[in-house]
Amino acid sequence: MASIITKIKAGYYIEEVNATDSLIANKLPALILHGDKDGFVPLDNAHKTYELLQSDNPKYIYISKGCKHVEGAKKDAQNYWATVNEFLIKHF
């Protein structure tokens, strides 16, 4: 279902996208946010994603301590949102 929606709204099927190639080709600043207790997406994925991004483009990673999947915005709100705001102000 999600693939059909992306085809209608964005013009491509999800299956047509190679995440690794897309990360390597990325030319925009990137901020990766992750919780160190995430049981849904392994923390190692955040580090692998960071490494795939080109070193000549601004890239940042912030790990929310003690947070599960998407908990950082609430449980680590002060540090999480300060990181997001700093990134947005600096790059956009």
| 78, part of any domain | yes
- Residue 15 domain-assigned (yes or no): no
Closest residue by Cα to residue 50 from 42, 40, 61 = 61
* Number of separate domains in the chain: 1
Residues above pLDDT 90, as percent of the chain? 79
pLDDT band at 12 (very low <50, low <70, confident <90, very high): confident
Q: Within a domain: residue 16?
A: no
Q: Which of helix, strand or coil describes residue 4?
A: helix
36 within domain boundaries: yes
Domain boundaries, position 32: 28-91
**C-beta of residue 30 within 8 angstroms of C-beta of residue 61:** no
* Torsion, Cα of 37, 38, 44, 48 (10° steps): -130
Least-confidence region, from 1-10, 55-64, 71-80:
1-10
Q: Is 73 contained in some domain? A: yes
**Are the C-beta atoms of 90 and 78 separated by less than 8 Å?**
no
